[in-house]
Structure 1
Amino acid sequence: MSLKFFDKLSQNLIELLTDKDDYNVIIEVENKEKSFTAHSNVLKFRSSYFRKELENIQPNENNIKIIIKSSISAQIFNVVLRYIYGGIVDLENCETRFIYDLMLAADEFELEELSNKLETLFIETKGSWLRTHFSFIYHFIFSRNNFEKLKNFCNDIIVKYPNLIFDSDDFTSLKESALISLIKRNDLQIEEVKIWDYVIKWGIAQTSTLPANHDDWTKENFLTLKTTLQQCLPHIRYFHLTSIEVVEKIEPYKKILDKQLWKDINQHLLIPDRPVRSTILPPRSVLVTELPPRTEKPRESFSTIISEEHAAKISTWIDRRETTYTLTDFPYKFELILRGTRDGFAPQTFWNICHGHSCAVVLLKVEETDEIIGGYNPLGWDKDTDGKWLETEDSFIFSLKNGDIPNSILSRVKKPEYAILNGSKNDQINEGPNFGDFWMYSEKSDFTLDVSCFCRNSDFYENPIRSSSFEWFSIIDYEVFKIAKKNI
């Protein structure tokens, strides 16, 4: 029979962490602006990372060993250290991005138990957040040796929706291991010839010395590409390509293939029943979905954030009507200018795309809440300005609670001289639209990667549009619409 008293043990060890009398290690974090004290024996036995670090560090004159981890935030490291000592991690009220960063820190400090637990938690409970930040996360996790469950989770999504990665702007920066993990899948839903095209595109992008014109390539150029793609080429299903595809796509690059393989491909096209020496991989499986009965194609929704009812309500506010427009009589059309999930979340993208558009509505979907907030700018934005306040009596900001029209909040400008701030060119790398009491901002130049968008309680506008006491927030998507009169 065993009597276990882990709770008390955990409590005592955490108390040891706060005891400043007997430490022999200092860990400096956050660009050396914050520091923590600890005990070498605890760190060594709980983390192989710290064991290796401490073995290679000489103590100072006070017999203290100093570890510098400048890139780790103090908030994250505090949680890591309390886990090391007490085996407890409190994630209540933690934002999803914080949990993600904590998982990466746990992996960096070789805390396998914590890292695995957080990885499983992400897959089981944070799927929507992962999908929203998909490309960023996918590229990053394949730069690490661990996170196999997360890698498989992401690949299971990509094989069904390959454009998420293959058609992204940063496809060619994909890690080789990530590309191989995809093209080796039997269920990757892309035509084989397109997979070949993507592999060639990726391979060429890895070698800046290749001439831009394929006709100018030398034997050495083809050898360079062959070496770059040596781990990828065996996963192409050559024997399931048509003769036209072989002639138009494969033959121009035949010099990167082994001679026997190229010979076997041609033989198979002419005499498909004759055995070849090369390995014939099976064809990729096509996911069969039952097609619905042929009907009229449904109209594509104009927005992924608001409904037609919301558009009618916003139109009512623009015209300062007391009676809300109906779906059949509101006079404006909402023309999409920008969508974050389509065009990207960099602040500079906002200025480049929305420059010169007057009568525009900005809509944000707040992360981990049911809020939709936004603002109306009747004047437009100018990306070439040196920064100035725009004066208008017609701007307003608003909140749409859980898509519920009756619970909407309208806040009209009360200080017209501070209605809208047009950011200067130097600030546009971080700043988005600014309505005085409500603005978009990102230190990381991506509105979804930090908690820097902001709403405050009424200074330049009439009413607070958020009930939350926490003024800073992140978003999962945003849209900008130009408001124009419908053709009658």
Structure 2
Amino acid sequence: MTPNKQISSIVLPPRNILNIQLPIRNTPIPLPSNIITNEHALEISSWIDKKGSPYVENNPYEFELLVRGSRDGFDVKTIYNLCDKVVNTVIVLKVEGTGEILGGYNPREWDNNSNQFVQYKFIKDSFIFSLKNANMKDSILSRAVRDFNYSIYNYPQKTDLSFDIALCLNGNLKIEKRCYCMANSTYLKPIRSDEFVSKLEIGFSRIPVKALFSVEEYEVFKILPRNDLK
């Protein structure tokens, strides 16, 4: 009846439904470690994938804890027993007294075969490392670059587990103080400072005392691809 009168209504117009799919939120998998941080794990994963720069989020790998010294024992034989025939493992260890975090990656298996005395494994993708911490500004990565026949030294009978002679773990890691790093040609560069790296390559008895170390803690992880990342 009054066509010029403004109409007011409390009924809202129909809503437009937008078909927008939100991105999947990737929830980090808790890292079961007493030694390394998530940042360390991302860095190790980037080295496995040979990335030029470290991952900063969404680690493509899960670190499954296989062995921990304080839980399972510190003898190298324990590693062989619990990691027998396991591939893609990372060993990390905290050096007693210095707090250094050293380690190595083996894409092949550790072999606890009692019928084998000494086993050298031909591996091109293994590497060793030292991770940054409160006393170390940057991590050190050292890849196997030559003499690949000696990349991994697998000797369970002598409780010796080594990345050539660049990183050697011997006996009881906590009480025997028989671990060491030596200059060698297989791995690109030393992962410890010069004062702790032996320049001799002529046998354990000649390694300087200052180059020998024991381990406060160590852990071994199985590296598994994450299936929840799309």
Name the TM-score, length of structure 2 as normaliser: 0.74
Check whether the contact 1:370–1:401 (CA below 8 A) recurs between aligned residues: no
Q: Does 1:474 align with 2:204?
A: no
Check whether the contact 2:31–2:63 (CA below 8 A) recurs between aligned residues: no
Q: Does 1:339 align with 2:68?
A: yes
Mapping for residues 271-290 of structure 1, pairs under 5 Å = none
Mapping for residues 383-398 of structure 1, pairs under 5 Å = 383-384=112-113, 385-398=116-129
The aligned residue for residue 225 of structure 2 is 485
Mapping for residues 177-216 of structure 1, pairs under 5 Å = none
The aligned residue for residue 162 of structure 2 is 434
Equivalent position amino acid for 1:417 in 2: N
Residues 330 and 301 (structure 1 numbering): CA distance in 2 closer, same or farther, change over 3 Å? closer
Structure-2 separation of matches of 1:394 and 1:341:
29
Deviation at 1:406, TM superposition (A): 5.3
3-state secondary structure, aligned to 2:101: strand
Q: Does 1:452 align with 2:178?
A: yes
The aligned residue for residue 422 of structure 1 is 154
Deviation at 1:466, TM superposition (A): 0.1
Q: Does 1:365 align with 2:102?
A: no
3-state secondary structure, aligned to 2:43: helix
Deviation at 1:404, TM superposition (A): 7.5
CA offsets per residue over residues 331-356 of structure 1, 9 Å max, x none?
A: 00000000000001122111100111
Deviation at 1:365, TM superposition (A): 0.2
The aligned residue for residue 50 of structure 2 is 320
Deviation at 1:313, TM superposition (A): 0.2
Structure-1 separation of matches of 2:74 and 2:212:
17
Structure-1 separation of matches of 2:98 and 2:144:
25
The aligned residue for residue 35 of structure 2 is 305
Give RMSD over aligned pairs. Answer: 1.8
Q: Does 1:402 align with 2:130?
A: no
CA offsets per residue over residues 29-76 of structure 1, 9 Å max, x none?
A: xxxxxxxxxxxxxxxxxxxxxxxxxxxxxxxxxxxxxxxxxxxxxxxx
Residues 318 and 301 (structure 1 numbering): CA distance in 2 closer, same or farther, change over 3 Å? closer
Deviation at 1:306, TM superposition (A): 0.1
Aligned length, in residue pairs = 182
Equivalent position amino acid for 2:133 in 1: N
Residues 344 and 472 (structure 1 numbering): CA distance in 2 closer, same or farther, change over 3 Å? same
3-state secondary structure, aligned to 1:335: strand
Equivalent position amino acid for 1:408 in 2: S
Structure-2 separation of matches of 1:434 and 1:403:
26
Structure-2 separation of matches of 1:405 and 1:447:
23
Check whether the contact 1:400–1:409 (CA below 8 A) recurs between aligned residues: yes
The aligned residue for residue 88 of structure 1 is none
Deviation at 1:323, TM superposition (A): 2.4
Check whether the contact 2:46–2:53 (CA below 8 A) recurs between aligned residues: yes
Equivalent position amino acid for 2:219 in 1: E
Deviation at 1:362, TM superposition (A): 0.5
Structure 2 gaps of 5+ residues are 1-28, 197-210
Check whether the contact 1:306–1:403 (CA below 8 A) recurs between aligned residues: no
Deviation at 1:314, TM superposition (A): 0.2
Residues 403 and 316 (structure 1 numbering): CA distance in 2 closer, same or farther, change over 3 Å? farther
Residue among 411, 427, 432 paired with 2:142: 411
Deviation at 1:382, TM superposition (A): 0.6
Q: Does 1:353 align with 2:75?
A: no
Mark the structure with the bigger radius of gyration. Answer: 1
Structure-2 separation of matches of 1:315 and 1:324:
8
Residues 323 and 334 (structure 1 numbering): CA distance in 2 closer, same or farther, change over 3 Å? same
Equivalent position amino acid for 1:357 in 2: V
Check whether the contact 2:86–2:222 (CA below 8 A) recurs between aligned residues: yes
Structure 1 gaps of 5+ residues are 1-298
Residue among 81, 94, 109 paired with 1:380: 109
Q: Which runs of 4+ in 1 moved over 3 A?
A: 403-406
Q: Which has the higher contact order (CA 8 A, sep 6+)?
A: 2
The aligned residue for residue 174 of structure 1 is none
Structure-2 separation of matches of 1:326 and 1:374:
21
3-state secondary structure, aligned to 2:47: helix
